[in-house]
Structure 1
């Protein structure tokens, strides 16, 4: 059995990068999957005031060090595996990096502007037409989140294949 003490420093570094990349990709995929399968379907059942108010609060709370670390870390760690990993892992890690970067692009170009527009609508008790604010947000945000769920799950699967190829 090979232990971490038996690995050369470069191999140890690539192993740690791969383990971290898989972990972070899993956390990201789980986050978006949970939103797709639980949070948004649950919020779809509430009135407009509750929907808008809840999402305004969640959008503030989600910008925290743990989420940001996984959001930024997923593409960075996948890229590290592409650079540090062996030839068996490299193509899978490159593809995972592309999907992780895609997740960032979807978020920055799609979800964040929708979140910003929801915030710009103002305090929930001052919004004149809550139904219109919700309608402008909900279906597009749900679709974009479904895309992020697919890209992050794909990145996780590809990193899993990379791990299997290096074992």
Structure 2
């Protein structure tokens, strides 16, 4: 078994617990942001185009079911809010480690992800609730319910996709800069 050289052992002992968490928190934020960007993108390129070909009743029914599954998924809620917290924490830890460039990129990612959270809370969730409260509309009412929901929801989802994708890019840059700082002993 190899033992640490005295100077390496001393350096390791001097590392505070928050310093050990810096990279894993940044990695977790990056992975979570990628998952959220992928979820939103799946709606943009797959779910919504497929539903667009359905009649009004099938569209409204499917969106209600999808929203119900996501609203009642503890895993989705944990990921949605956990990414926001992890990204913010990663920015704070980068700043504390005196890695200003990585901190700036992580801060930008936090702001971009916060924008996606705001869009979700201010646009997508209220639309989902309105769709759920619409009762059992028929005929022209069903078409009006769909029309009031579809375009604003899809536009907001595109904004979330773009914000999360940009946040993912910023976190990727922060990871590179974090790695450079570690390689130089920062």
Fold match (TM-score > 0.5): yes
Given that 1:121 and 1:127 are in contact with CA atoms closer than 8 Å, whether structure 2 keeps it comes out as: no
Q: Alignment partner for residue 37 of structure 2, among 29, 32, 50?
A: 29
Query: Number of aligned pairs?
Result: 161
Give me the whole-angstrom Cα distance separating, in 2, the residues matched to 1:107 and 1:33.
14
Structure 2 stretches lacking a partner, 5+ long: 1-8, 180-186
Output aligned runs, 1:9-24, within 5 Å. Answer: 9-24=17-32
Q: 1:115: which partner in 2?
A: 128
Output aligned runs, 1:1-167, within 5 Å. Answer: 8=15, 9-63=17-71, 64-85=73-94, 86-123=99-136, 126-127=137-138, 129-167=141-179
Cα distance per residue 1:70-98 (max 9 Å; x no partner): 11012211111111113231000110000
Task: Compute the RMSD of aligned alpha carbons.
Answer: 1.6
In the TM superposition, structure 1's runs of 4+ consecutive aligned residues that sit over 6 Å from their partners are none
Relative to the length of structure 1, the TM-score reads: 0.91
Give me the whole-angstrom Cα distance separating, in 2, the residues matched to 1:10 and 1:112.
35
Larger radius of gyration: 2
Cα distance per residue 1:38-93 (max 9 Å; x no partner): 10011001111000000011111002111111110122111111111132310001
Structure 1 stretches lacking a partner, 5+ long: none
Give me the whole-angstrom Cα distance separating, in 2, the residues matched to 1:164 and 1:158.
10
DSSP 3-state at the match of 1:89:
helix
Give me the whole-angstrom Cα distance separating, in 1, the residues matched to 2:27 and 2:35.
12
Give me the whole-angstrom Cα distance separating, in 2, the residues matched to 1:132 and 1:29.
30
Relative to the length of structure 2, the TM-score reads: 0.82
